[in-house]
Structure 1
């Protein structure tokens, strides 16, 4: 009875954690720790596949693509990711492969059709109450959803976007979208502004990996009721704190680099003379 009690929600939570493991692996001082984190990433990837979550597989594909793009050696990362995925899939039974294959024919899936129906209901509730929505868990509360759609079946919204829209209305949805986009922009800003400073290399990797975690949440959460998942908000707090720390550290790093640069110029001038 937690946010991640469902297999699909567990898959997204695990996916959000893999990039953070990779960040720690990149900056761990001891080889044993780095090896342990790498093994944990592989095992967590196996666990994601084993949840039987189709949304998790889609989020894994999106996250893997961004993780590959952010990697320093893209060819090695692509080969490693492909080998791990092929190995994980090879362990899965035939019913897993049949379930994942339904992604290509989602319009024939009862689960997909039910999701689109509840998304329509959530949108309808927001149209009736554009400023405030229907309240928390609007589509899952019979007293709420039957007020607008008497023949509808109450169930979870299964989408962070429609969950926020149906529960809280259009203004809250716009704020929610802004939170997601701002998280991505802050992550990129941290990585970009810290680039080129060896003392701030950890911030570069932290920004890149946090961005991947947010992407995993956004893609996976598009099919799940995780609009109030505290893990996501903690990520936003962490990347905001990293940006504040970066702004405080940049003047100090620049001040320390200035004397070294001056000494280098004087040394090159002496050699030239």
Structure 2
């Protein structure tokens, strides 16, 4: 039944796109985040459904969609440069076969993030894209949250839709993305015009946010805990009653701690002392190896260049009790360990030029969202402000918060090219272009021009 339901839903979206081609863009967002072809075991699993929807989304926009309001931004141009550079490093990669396998999905995710802003021309389209992104993440999160409440989860043992610990279904990645999605969920609940705003919509949003908060507990990913802490700090900037909010969050944390699994609290203890945990010590060793590697390979080694590393890790663990405590030192050898950091992933694979481009793209997004937030917040607070200027600043704020959470999670997870994160960049580029266009002097003059009611006049199409 699950297979039939997924198949019917995907083909239903494709059918709806025949009438409204933008739905194919939404279908790609859904397919690329949820990966229903991995959940399916029959029809969708046997079709290149991601490629099919990818082609439909581009074809629909190219042949049918109105392109008069589409704008190409500097940030999209930087993404194009990074895409070309990644293609060049793939051609000269240290591990050509493995690099080609990663390039096969990276180029598609990057091209779509460059293309997405061109399709986001109205408020309705922004809302639709945000809702599909949030609800696609939510579909994964809700199931994981239910299993967490039922069993407590476990590191590497929480099973989501698929028995596949890769992509967004990997524990640390879904923990980071679930927390990053929370600002988008809350914005959609407060500003949606697609669903009626009311108690039911708010209740669902609160329940989904709670489910997102449970995922780091179920996966026992330390990254998720840090992302939750950052979300709390970022929220202080926009809430009206900061001290009440802080008190409520503190009380909630105190109430929740006794109910946390013992295995979760023990794993979180390793944040303070990484040398007591082999996984954390390995990450530091890989980062040191990467810094040495780029001394000889400043342009990077292409995708999966980490496969050439050889590591010797020293771990320290306390032994004994009371006055008879000591430190046990162990040396472990390892090889071909992944970067476990987007920053070192970019540095090792794309070298200093690739890391610079990636950081430039990220920094520009934070700056642009801050400018939009400030400008449209003033517009919304102005006396007599209309209802149609109330959603822009909160959306810029939500996108900025989501990006900051992603950037923090990226310190400890190799997700530089993660599809959901690239979609966030695409929506940011679209919002920047759209708001600059409607706020231009010419657009303001057109909006302010009085409408003439001329008998017998026919509106231009």
Give the TM bin, normalised by the shorter chain.
0.7 to 0.9
Specify whether residues 248 and 195 from structure 1 end up closer, same or farther in structure 2 by C-alpha distance, changes over 3 A only.
same
Within a 5 Å distance, the mapping from 1:39-78 to structure 2 comes to 39-78=207-246
RMSD of aligned residue pairs (Cα, Å): 2.2
TM-score of the two chains, using structure 1 as the length reference: 0.84
| Preserved contact between residue 290 and residue 344 of structure 2 (Cα < 8 Å) | yes
1:226 is aligned to: 415
Cα deviation for residue 68 of structure 1 reads 2.2
**Which shows bigger deviation, 162-171 or 1-10?**
1-10
Distance 2:342 2:237 in 1: 26
**2:349 corresponds to 1:185:** no
Alignment-derived partner of residue 401 in structure 2: 212
Q: Distance in 2 between matches of 1:18 and 1:10?
A: 12
Give 1 or 2: higher helix fraction: 1
2:129 equivalent in structure 1:
none
Unaligned ranges ≥5, structure 2: 1-163, 311-332, 381-387, 451-461
Which position in structure 2 is the counterpart of 1:268? none
The separation in 1 between residues aligned to 2:174 and 2:255, in whole angstroms, is 21
Deviation at 1:215, TM superposition (A): 0.9
Aligned position for 1:9: 173
Q: Deviations over 1:8-35 (max 9, x none)?
A: 1110111111111111122144211122
Which residue is equivalent to 1:18? 182
Q: Any stretches of 5+ residues in structure 1 without a counterpart?
A: 260-273
Name the structure 1 match of 2:351.
169
SS of the residue aligned with 1:226?
coil
Residue 216 of structure 1 and its aligned partner are, at CA, apart by 0.8
TM superposition score normalised by structure 2: 0.51
Cα shift at 1:188: 0.8
Offset of residue 258 of structure 1: 9.5
Asked whether 1:138 is paired with 2:320, we answer: no
Deviation string, structure 1 residues 250-270 (Cα, Å, up to 9, x no partner) = 2446775799xxxxxxxxxxx
Count of paired positions: 251
CA positional deviation for 1:43: 2.0
Moved more, 222-231 or 198-207: 198-207
Task: Say whether the 8 Å CA contact 1:190–1:243 is kept in structure 2.
Answer: yes
Gap change, CA 1:85 and 1:50, over 3 Å in 2: farther
1:195 aligns with 2:377: yes
In the other structure, the counterpart of 1:106 is 274
Aligned equivalents of 1:173, 1:68: Cα separation in 2: 31
Distance 1:235-1:189 versus aligned 2 partners, 3 A rule: same
Runs of 4+, deviation exceeding 6 Å: none
Report the alpha carbon displacement of residue 152 of structure 1 after superposing the two structures with TM. 5.7
* Separation (CA, whole Å) in 1 of partners of 2:249 and 2:449: 41
